[in-house]
Amino acid sequence: MKKLIHIVDDEAFMRRNIIDALTGKDIEFAESNNGNEAIKDLEQRQPTLLLLDINLPGLDGLSVLKKTKQLYPQLPVIMLTAHGTSERAIRAMKNGAFDYLDKPFELDEFLLIVERALNYSDLLNEVQQLRSERKQDGHLTGNEIVGRSEVMQEIFKLIGKVSISDAPVLIEGESGTGKEVIADAIQRHSNRQDKPYIKVNCGALPETLLESEIFGHEKGAYTGAHSLVLGRYELANGGTILLDEINSMPLSLQVKLLRVLETGNFERLGGEKSVHADVRVIAITNSDAEGEVTAGHLREDLFYRLNVVKISVPPLRDRLEDLPLLVEYFISKYSPDKKIVVSPKTLEKSLHYSWPGNIRELENTIRSRLVLGQDNVLSFDKIDAHDETVTADKHGNNLNFKERISNLENELIIVALQKSNNNKAQAARLLGINRRLIYSKMDEYEIEH
């Protein structure tokens, strides 16, 4: 399917130059020479990408941007600016522009930013079309990224930017946040999408076996090595390798990996001949990468080599606005043919739970309730049981659930505010809750700011 790029610029030669630069890339074009005309055209047809000049006669580019975002909130818009308009460019980015280019711009830079924006658009389409795809075939691949929160939109943009390069990527985040799904999206939208994609869990094997698993071994390299075996890195030649739990890799093996990243060369276990492989590396750590360096679990030089691009995946408690969408997604995934009702009370309850296991815990909870539930109403009884177990008095005194919960919440918030020097954001992190929730709870319990 062809992509539609809408160009809004009052200079005809600029529009023609852009079309000439992009022609032949399975793209069609729409043109407008002023802001008012652009809005009329946009109301008739949604493009894949909007290239928008800031300086336009009549309705200026920033006004067009605002109206466009009202029409199509997720449409990527690249602003075209003249030299000396940095303040307006900053305002454009604040108003939701994907990126901006100063005129006159270098062709290579222009093509790169356009490709990033188109990749970003593709990712958004994956999210927006989830429901229709489910209706068509009733099947989900498990590779979809679900989220409409601002932090996830920024991650979508970052995926669009990095997927078209061969640079190493480091993905960090708590267990269960969906880091591997992010890695899969990068590979799926890369120039290596049709090449091998090999995954290795570095925390699942002891050092000797892990080295053999990644780099292979020669015949006779160790007892039981009866033949030459190619490692995962060599099998990924021309494609991508995903190294999960990279912080669990032994330091001695990290040295070998560092050399491979620098030169592309390595030796199989027990071998002397150097082997070359062209592989794009994506590494995952389930904790803060810099903290792992400080703790001595990750070599500093390897960290800098991998940290060309870093994607920090937030815990579910920091993107709770995505929770209703995730609930709907998992219901459709595990019960596509059954109409399941989720009450507002159940959703409200889930928004007050910290989800320490993140998206994986939410998925398992929903899957369990769908299996064990006797009707078409989804409830999160597990959360109630968890809270009651934590807060009930072991001697049976004062078992009024709501009162006990309220008292405990009040005390915890006060302690967290004291420890954080009244910093609400830090207190929320200490409590493992969303920052908005701490403000509402402070109002509810009349805790002074």
- The per-residue pLDDT for 136 is 47
Round to whole Å and give the CA distance between 35 and 101: 18
Fold of 3-128: Rossmann fold (3.40.50)
What is the average pLDDT across 27-54? 94
Question: What's the pLDDT tens digit per position in 19-40?
Answer: 999 987 689 999 999 999 999 9
- Beta strand residue intervals within 245-396, DSSP E: 265-267, 274-276, 280-285, 309-312, 341-342, 377-378
Distances (CA, A) of 292 to 35, 45, 247, 288, 336: 51, 49, 7, 6, 41
Reported confidence tier of residue 279, pLDDT bands at 50, 70, 90: very high
Q: Looking at per-residue confidence, does 232 or 410 come out higher?
A: 232
Q: Which of 168-177, 232-241, 346-355 has the lowest mean pLDDT?
A: 346-355
Q: What are phi and psi of 201, to 5 degrees?
A: -95, 105
| pLDDT reading at 339 higher than 90 | no
Q: Which CATH architecture has domain 319-391?
A: Orthogonal Bundle (1.10)
Most confident range (mean pLDDT) of 1-5, 78-82, 248-252, 328-332 is 248-252
What is the average pLDDT across 235-239? 94
Round to whole Å and give the CA distance between 352 and 347: 9
Report which residue type is found at 335: S
Query: What percentage of the chain exceeds 90 in pLDDT?
Result: 41
Q: Looking at per-residue confidence, does 438 or 138 come out higher?
A: 438
Instruction: Say whether domain 161-312 belongs to CATH 3.40.50.300.
Output: yes
SS3 for 311? strand
- The per-residue pLDDT for 300 is 96
| pLDDT reading at 308 higher than 50 | yes
- The per-residue pLDDT for 138 is 42
Question: What's the pLDDT tens digit per position in 169-226?
Answer: 999 999 999 999 999 999 988 889 999 999 999 988 887 789 989 998 888 877 777 7
- The per-residue pLDDT for 424 is 82
Round to whole Å and give the CA distance between 68 and 56: 15
Domain boundaries, the chain: 3-128, 161-312, 319-391, 401-444
How confident is the prediction for the chain on average, in pLDDT? 83
Question: What's the pLDDT tens digit per position in 253-276?
Answer: 999 999 999 999 999 988 889 999
User: What is the CATH class of 401-444?
Assistant: mainly alpha
Query: What percentage of the chain exceeds 70 in pLDDT?
Result: 86
What is the average pLDDT across 374-398? 52
- The per-residue pLDDT for 87 is 63
Reported confidence tier of residue 388, pLDDT bands at 50, 70, 90: very low
Check if 161-312 and 319-391 are the same fold. Answer: no
Is the torsion defined by CA of 102, 108, 111, 115 positive or negative?
Answer: negative
